[in-house]
Structure 1
Amino acid sequence: MMAPGLRLKGARVLLPDGLARVPLTICDGVVCDGATAPDARDVDLTGYLVMPGIVDAHGDGFERHLAPRRGAMKDLDQGLVAAEAELAANGITTAVLAQFYSWEGGMRGPDFATRVLAALDAVRDSVVTDLHAQLRFEVPMLDDYGTFRALAAAHGVRHVVFNDHLPHDALDKGKRPPRLTGHALRIGKNPDTHLSDMQALHARMDEVPAALDDLCAGLAADGVRMGSHDDRSAQDRAAWRGRGVRISEFPETLAAAEAAREGDDLVILGAPNVVRGGSHNGNVSALDLVAMGLCDALASDYHYPSPRRAAFLLADSGVLDLPGAWWLISGGPAQGLGLTDRGDLTRGKRADLVVLDAETRRIGATLSGGRVSYMSGAVAARFLR
């Protein structure tokens, strides 16, 4: 069913060159020329801003909807539906859900990843927000490389990011990693067995580079866009780039971010880092990297309200103008993820947009593909007139 034609009038609309008080017409789910839609229904949005929909390139905030309490993970479908409602209420029209595939087990384990992908396949067509899966693969899992690639292909996963969360320093020294016992018990595993498994993975790390070369080549052939998580150095970034891994997610150091920029790689930073004014774990400040021009996209990471808040903070503080700040949460991530049909409100693009109160900046409505995914009472009254 085609979405009804709408002509949004009276609002200030964020176009590539800035805010303008112009009508915005939506036809069949895309931004169109008003002259081609004479029957479009007028909606007066005086007092509001209309901004491009937020494209969230990496977020794991959905996890709390899948397991609101420990062990309460039976109905993942409904958890994803609840997560989609939160995404929409925060102006996110396209969301990449970052799911672990890790030796860490529990909600990060391979079995849970398989369940999440199946649930996402089941609900994707019944929700309005455009949901995509990202798999975060732990590179020490050598025995899983083939299984992992097959899983990604079976579910049409087009975004993969590589991690390594093994505590190599402690394992190198023969020490018991911090918090091992508590973590093992939380995932229902004997602590000694958990330690033994970690040691076995650590002992084979010299095999990882060659295996990664093959896995990355295979994923690239499958059409998967690949990223590395938490790059620590220019050497790390260069090694990943050599494998065709062209996205640097949350680089931990200035050197890694500069290397990504010099190599023309996409740099994704955490919006919560910008809002907080710095990293929660002492890494390089995302705010500083944005000011230095070393950022292509801001992602929600673990907090869905943060992209919108970060964009306005950057604009209000003069770090960027509003079009540049909002681009980091709309057009920038859209381009980086290959979603060229969205990211701005020019003609022919998907009608992905956010309606915000011009004074409070609270979200009044979110439309994805011209369909309403969220709407507050005040804005709903405008649409019903």
Structure 2
Amino acid sequence: MMQAEFTLEGAQVLRDGQLAIGDIAVARGVLSDDPAGPRVALPGCTVLPGIVDSHGDGFERHMAPRRGAVTDLTVGLAGVEAELAANGITTAMLAQFWSWEGGMRGPEFALRVLEAVERYQPVGTDIRVQLRLEMHLLDDYDAMEQAVDRFGIVQVVFNDHLPHDALARGKRPPRLTGQALKSGRNPEAHLAMMQDLYDRRADVPAAVEALAARLAARGVMLGSHDDPDAETRQLWRSRGVALSEFPETHEAALAARSGGDGIILGSPNVMRGGSHAGKVSARDMVAAGLCDALASDYFYPAPLKAAQILADEIGLPAAWTLVSDGPARLLGLADRGRIAAGLRADLVVLDPDGRVCLTVAGGCVTYASGIGAAALIGARI
């Protein structure tokens, strides 16, 4: 990590909810109002807080493009960081499954990812891991908790991807064969495993409640995923699970808001104009005030694009809060998400066409192109 000192000048800077021409300096990894180092002229550009991505699984395509293709996952992480930086993301929560689904979603791969993140030396991007626990995987709770302790995991999200309807009818779930092959199991063994997990469903609620209490006692942030209704969200809140990721209905999100829970929606949903699975529209939820943060989900370019789309409806300052200050607050990261003296030097600069031309993470230049690269060269940085 090589931190630089410089002052960005001549661009619009987003501060305190307002866009205005001004200067902002980067010195010793933090932001400063006092000039520092060479002056980097960026007329016509816009300087914004770096994007904080609270949930993204787009890293999978870099770290597991094909089975066995990447043996050293830190090589894949370098590709992940490059893509994050090119899209203005300065803090990234990698949403890694701990699931019965196996393959890149299985516990063994999760441990490899955690070990790789621990070894990896980033250029400047703050890369963290969220564990997504499939809550029916009862026999793996102890191993997952050990991983939380060993790697200092600060966030666990509860998932349930069992095909309950098909299993209840004794039917073969859709896409069984493809999923089984990805997991390295034959389809019949995969089906038998899912049926066994389903048959133990009565044991899940008490086990989840106890696990949530143990994790909360460690200070781990807890979230639920795909809340379908208000009752489910209220149940999760009673367990101390205060983050609602991608609620599927307006009622679930309203229950989260009324209970003071954090609401995370998907940026790709905003880009599409609706959910790919026919669920609630993120744009409608934002308009109703039922969103605290927009996450990349499966597509790292999405937070920037979603904020630009929403800027036409609610203004850029409010839209950008959903990809910077909002997620930073939910993650308990008070040192970023805004442009203010003393905060971590995380910035993204957009050129006059709205493209990322410069990304700074922790005071390090992690990406530069076009106007941004030319400005740095001109300032001899």
Match in the other structure for 2:187: 191
Aligned partner of 2:113 in structure 1 is: 116
Spell out the pairing of 1:1-385 with structure 2 (5 A cutoff). Answer: 3-34=3-34, 37=35, 39-123=36-120, 125-316=121-312, 318=313, 320-358=314-352, 360-385=353-378
Percent identity between matched residues is: 58
Q: Contact conserved, 1:62 with 1:83, CA < 8 A, in 2? A: yes
SS for the counterpart of 1:126 is: coil
Contact 1:128–1:371, Cα closer than 8 Å, also in 2 = yes
Whether the 8 Å contact between 1:279 and 1:285 is mirrored in structure 2 is yes
SS of residue in 2 equivalent to 1:23: strand
Superposed CA deviations along residues 173-225 of structure 1, whole A, max 9, x for unmatched, are 11111121222123221211111111111011111111111111111111111
CA distance in structure 2 between the partners assigned to 1:186 and 1:147 by the alignment: 22
* Corresponding letter in the other structure for 1:88: A
- Contact 2:17–2:318 under 8 Å retained in 1: no
1:271-302: per-residue Cα shift (whole Å, max 9, x none)?
A: 00001100001001111101100000000001
Amino acid at match of 2:237: R
Question: Structure 2 length normalisation: TM-score?
Answer: 0.97
Contact 2:124 2:363 in 1 (8 A): no
Count of residues in correspondence between the two structures: 378
Q: Write the distance in 2 (CA, Å) between the matches of 1:384 and 1:321.
A: 33
Q: Conserved in 2, the CA contact under 8 Å of 1:272 and 1:300? A: yes
Q: In structure 2, the residue corresponding to 1:25 is in which secondary structure?
A: strand
After the TM superposition, which of the residue ranges 166-175 and 323-332 deviates more from structure 2?
Answer: 166-175
1:40 aligned counterpart, secondary structure: coil
CA distance in 1, matches of 2:187, 2:122: 41
Is the contact between residue 58 and residue 299 of structure 1 (CA under 8 Å) also seen in structure 2? yes
Query: More displaced, 332-341 or 3-12?
Result: 3-12
Give the aligned residue type for 1:69: R
Distance across 1 between alignment mates of 2:2 and 2:329: 26
Question: What one-letter code is carried by the residue in structure 2 that aligns with 1:348?
Answer: G
Given that 1:18 and 1:322 are in contact with CA atoms closer than 8 Å, whether structure 2 keeps it comes out as no
Which residues of structure 2 form unaligned runs of 5+? none
For residue 364 of structure 1, report the CA deviation from its aligned partner.
0.5
1:2–1:28 contact (8 Å) kept in structure 2: no
Question: Partner of 1:252: helix, strand, or coil?
Answer: coil
- Distance apart, 1:110 and its partner CA: 0.5
Q: 3-state DSSP class of the match of 2:22?
A: coil
Q: What is the CA deviation profile of residues 118-169 of structure 1, one whole-angstrom value per residue up to 9, with x for unaligned ones?
A: 011010x333110010010000011111111111111111111110000111
Q: Tell me which moved more, 14-23 or 225-234.
A: 14-23
* Unaligned residue ranges in structure 1 (runs of 5+): none
Matched AA of 1:173: R
Aligned-residue CA RMSD in angstroms?
1.2
For 2:178 and 2:336, locate their aligned partners in 1 and report how far apart those are by CA, in whole Å: 44
- Rounded to whole Å, the distance in 2 between the matches of 1:26 and 1:62 is 29
* Separation in 2, partners of 1:179, 1:86: 30
* Rounded Cα–Cα distance in structure 2 between residues aligned with 1:127 and 1:156: 21
Shift of 1:2: 7.5
